[in-house]
Amino acid sequence: MTEATLKPGCIEIEYGKLYSINVLNRNYYDMLSDSERSNAMQRRTAEMQNRYVEIHAKKRLALSELLKCKPEALVFAAGANGKPYLPDYPEWTFNLSHSGDYFALAVARSCRLGIDLEAARSRSNLTGIVKKCFAIEEIAYWEALPEEDRISAFYRFWTRKEAFVKATGRGIALGLNRCVVDPSEPGRMLRVPEEFAPASDWRIACNDWKRDIFCAVVIDRAIEKIQWREIV
């Protein structure tokens, strides 16, 4: 292994658009492990198969650049609750998210880390989701907003909460309504489940790089530097 380039407290975020075409011509398929190839072929349509290949090849390319290794050499394993990690690089953590035609990958060291990306769309049951998944403080804030601001506010809350539960490794089974974003200071958590307390340890960073694309990253330490890098 060679010396890696990312310092603790720094986050590298690679994001971009998915094209889902010509993935074989770009050697993406050859970078994947046998299990990743098998997972890709289990997708129902050719477009979904190509998208899976593209996402996981770009994940390998981004990680290999930071870790100074070949993308096909990376080995992935899954934790107790299914969150993937790099057994050969135990100090490093990463998290991947994709929605619609976009993806985002967050990478850091010596921390818990989660990222969530959502492509906004109209929902007929938005109020029901809010009442089920939001805490009382978040509900009160959301209901007080003008109608035209509610969809964007929903996704900003949702991505922060989803990124938090992904950082813990527990996922939404942890209970989104137990993971509370401070409405008055959306860069921090107001309340978290006891096993992940105190809430003040957690930091949130966001980048809505398109009008209808929302992205949040959550980490359990102070953020020294965060770099968002768009890749194609």
Structure tokens that stand for 46 in this block:
């050719």
Rounded CA gap, 118 and 230, in Å?
16
Structure tokens that stand for 1 in this block:
């292994």
Work out the angle between the directed axes of helices 46-67 and 34-41 (0-180°, nearest 10): 150
Alpha helices in 10-124 (DSSP H): 28-31, 34-41, 46-67
Which fold, 116-221?
A: Ribosomal Protein L22; Chain A (3.90.470)
Q: What is the pTM of this model?
A: 0.94
Please determine whether the domains at 11-89 and 116-221 fall in the same fold group of CATH: yes
**Per-residue confidence (pLDDT) for residue 1, from 0 to 100:** 36
**11-89 CATH, one of 3.40.50.800, 3.40.190.10, 3.90.470.20, 2.120.10.30:** 3.90.470.20
Rounded CA gap, 67 and 47, in Å?
30
Q: What is the pLDDT of residues 137-194, one digit of tens each?
A: 999 999 999 999 999 999 999 999 999 999 999 999 999 999 999 999 989 999 999 9
Rounded CA gap, 54 and 164, in Å?
25
- From residue 126, alpha-carbon distances to 114, 153, 213 in Å are 24, 11, 17
Domain residue ranges in the chain:
11-89, 116-221
Q: What is the pLDDT of residues 64-110, one digit of tens each?
A: 999 999 999 999 999 988 999 999 999 999 999 999 899 999 999 99
**Per-residue confidence (pLDDT) for residue 25, from 0 to 100:** 55
In one letter, which amino acid is 100? G
